[in-house]
């Protein structure tokens, strides 16, 4: 069984040798740029790990794994444009470095390249791999649309939010594991269990991100604290606080989170005070723990020996233990 570090190394090596040298360079330079500036390569690494759970042959899983990474980076490229983000991984986003038209078109080309890599798998597996990928890709777009919708809505519930992050983030992690399982020759039952494991882990991952914005340390996470609060982003923490707060506190929170007029430091401090009063950190940790436990229970049901699963368990543990 290939562990996360080893799978990451395989993927990092493969990506380091990718260079799209087709013309015109205005179209392909941004693709090479986006793929070269890193990221944790979680999704393709999970494809490799899941494949290795069922088979010692993992070579044929590399191209489909890269497909998922390329697709993921395509969604980041277009999302960053929609969100007007200027930085991604501390580098200028494509629409900032080039322009918006180039960002649209190089994103489009990345989604096609993703299918190109995906198609490079054993032909017998191609129909099921394509079906899984396409359904997942639609769901990721749906998640992004919900996220955009939520920006202008003030009636979002915690459950709406959980559904959104399931689509926007969790299903791609789930599909990575399921795809790896299919490529490793797993039974449909095992592939589906790994999907469920990944989906729950994906939600843990996103809730972790929401926590890190407020309780992370700037140095280790590489982002400033409270950026979501300043951007009036409706995270799990905010929505949960609105849900559990009394009327007075809810009104304060709603006022804080619907304006850009507050002093940033003061705004962060006031929102964090409310979080502390309401025990939002603990509530979020508990919720995240539920998803985590469910993920591990599902993993336990996969019909491979306990030892083989340990690397996926280690990966899950690493996710939940990110600095916060």
Q: Which is nearer to a copy of itself, 104 or 296 (CB)?
A: 104
Min CB(161)–a copy of itself separation in Å: 14
Cβ atoms within 10 A of the Cβ of 304, count? 16
Q: Which is nearer to a copy of itself, 110 or 237 (CB)?
A: 110
Min CB(150)–a copy of itself separation in Å: 10
Q: Which is nearer to a copy of itself, 18 or 105 (CB)?
A: 105
Q: Which of 216, 205, 206, 207 is nearest to 324 (CA)?
A: 216
- Is the Cβ–Cβ distance between 9 and 70 less than 8 Å? no
Min CB(100)–a copy of itself separation in Å: 8
Q: Which is nearer to a copy of itself, 49 or 110 (CB)?
A: 110
Question: 3-class SS at 223?
Answer: coil
Q: Which is nearer to a copy of itself, 41 or 78 (CB)?
A: 78
Q: Which residue has the tokens 């399931």?
A: 166
Min CB(73)–a copy of itself separation in Å: 13
Residues 6+ apart with CB under 8 A from 252: 270, 274
- Alpha-carbon distance of 113 to 32, in angstroms, equals 12
Paired tokens of 26: 């205005």
Q: Which is nearer to a copy of itself, 14 or 142 (CB)?
A: 142
- Alpha-carbon distance of 48 to 59, in angstroms, equals 9
CA distances from 276 to 160, 237, 249, 273 (A): 24, 11, 12, 5
Min CB(95)–a copy of itself separation in Å: 11
Q: Which is nearer to a copy of itself, 88 or 267 (CB)?
A: 88
- Alpha-carbon distance of 1 to 210, in angstroms, equals 31
CB crowding 244-266: b at 16 or more within 10 Å, else e: ebeeeeeeebeebbeeeebeeee
Q: Which is nearer to a copy of itself, 112 or 318 (CB)?
A: 112
Kind plus residue range of the DSSP H or E element containing 158? helix 158-165
Q: Which residues bind a copy of itself (CB under 8 A)?
A: 22-24, 26-27, 78, 81-82, 101-102, 104-105, 107-109, 111-113, 115-116, 119, 123, 126-127, 130-131, 134, 137-138, 141-142, 144-146, 148-149
Question: 3-class SS at 87?
Answer: strand
Min CB(86)–a copy of itself separation in Å: 17
Min CB(306)–a copy of itself separation in Å: 37
CB crowding 32-63: b at 16 or more within 10 Å, else e: ebbbeeebebbbbbbbbbbbbbbeeebebbbb
Min CB(127)–a copy of itself separation in Å: 5
């Amino acid at each position: 069984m290939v562990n996360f570090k080893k799978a990451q190394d395989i993927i990092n090596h493969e990506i380091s040798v990718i260079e799209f040298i087709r013309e015109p360079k205005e179209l392909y330079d941004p693709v090479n740029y986006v793929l070269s500036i890193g990221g944790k390569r979680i999704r393709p690494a999970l494809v490799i790990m899941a494949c290795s759970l069922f088979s010692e042959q993992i070579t044929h899983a590399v191209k489909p794994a890269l497909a998922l990474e390329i697709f993921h980076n395509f969604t980041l490229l277009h999302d960053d444009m929609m969100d007007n983000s200027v930085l991604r991984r501390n580098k200028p986003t494509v629409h900032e470095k080039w322009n918006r038209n180039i960002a649209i078109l190089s994103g489009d080309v990345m989604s096609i390249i993703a299918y190109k890599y995906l198609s490079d798998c054993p032909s017998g597996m191609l129909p099921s791999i394509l079906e899984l990928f396409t359904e997942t890709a639609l769901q990721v777009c749906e998640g992004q649309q919900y996220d955009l919708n939520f920006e202008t809505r003030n009636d979002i519930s915690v459950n709406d939010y959980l559904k959104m992050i399931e689509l926007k983030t969790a299903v791609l992690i789930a599909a990575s594991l399921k795809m790896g399982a299919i490529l490793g020759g797993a039974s449909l039952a095992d592939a589906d269990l790994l999907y469920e494991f990944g989906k729950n882990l994906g939600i843990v991952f996103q809730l972790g991100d929401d926590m890190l914005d407020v309780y992370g340390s700037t140095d280790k996470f590489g982002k400033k604290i409270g950026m979501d609060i300043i951007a009036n982003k409706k995270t799990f923490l905010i929505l949960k606080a609105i849900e559990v707060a009394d009327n007075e506190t809810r009104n304060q929170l709603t006022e804080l989170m619907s304006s850009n007029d507050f002093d940033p430091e003061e705004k962060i401090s006031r929102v964090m005070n409310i979080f502390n009063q309401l025990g939002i950190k603990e509530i979020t940790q508990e919720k995240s723990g539920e998803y985590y436990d469910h993920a591990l229970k599902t993993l336990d049901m996969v019909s491979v020996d306990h030892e083989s699963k340990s690397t996926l368990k280690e990966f899950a543990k690493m996710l939940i233990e990110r600095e916060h």
